Amino acid sequence: MAVNKAVTICSMTGDHWTSVNTIYQAGIDTGHATFESSAPATWDTWRQHRFDDSNLVALDGDVVLGWASLAPTSDRCVYAGVAEVSVYVAPQAQGRGVGRQLLAALIERSEARNIWTLQAGIFPENLASLALHKALGFETVGVRRRLGKMRHGPLAGRWRDVLSLERRSARVGIN
């Protein structure tokens, strides 16, 4: 896999929303990215459930190639150091190392934010996402069998398993 050296990773802003939303919807449409059936209608709605300082985009010039974000897993204070990761890459940018660069930057951002555990829920059929996460230190910790039924896309009506992956920081939360 050739890594695109022209990619710049930076904080996501509202100016990126249209592209982020399009990339998210493309992932949704595959049926292998999420149970969601549509992307949020607005930037403000999307941001409600994510950490503002941990939303990233990969840019080639001013073209958004992908995005990554962190979301809290719980409101309870004992889970303050645990977050869920999301990584989406535009179809035309897949296979160029964009997802790897985004996830690596997100891991750095999470540790700067004092997050000690990152979680990901991935459909077993999403081999590229599984390989990406495992390459960056995520481990499969379980299978949630028949977790939900798809309401859209090519797998509509099918119950889906979700693999639970996590990555424990070697720098944060070790004491």
| 84/67 Cα distance (integer angstroms) | 14
For the chain, give the percent of residues with pLDDT over 90. Answer: 79
The DSSP symbol for 76 reads: S
| 123/60 Cα distance (integer angstroms) | 29
- Split into its structural domains, the chain has a count of 1
Task: Tell me the CATH number at 16.
Answer: 3.40.630.30
Tens of pLDDT, residues 16-74: 999 999 999 999 999 899 999 999 999 999 888 898 888 999 999 999 999 999 999 99
Does residue 83 fall inside a structural domain? yes
Q: Which helix (H) or strand (E) holds 131?
A: helix 127-135
**125 is in which domain, residue-wise?**
7-168
Q: Which helix (H) or strand (E) holds 132?
A: helix 127-135
Does residue 1 fall inside a structural domain? no
| 171/120 Cα distance (integer angstroms) | 19
- Calculate ∠ Cα 23-124-39, nearest 5°: 25
CB 112 within 8 A of CB 97: no
| 48/66 Cα distance (integer angstroms) | 20
Structure pTM?
0.92
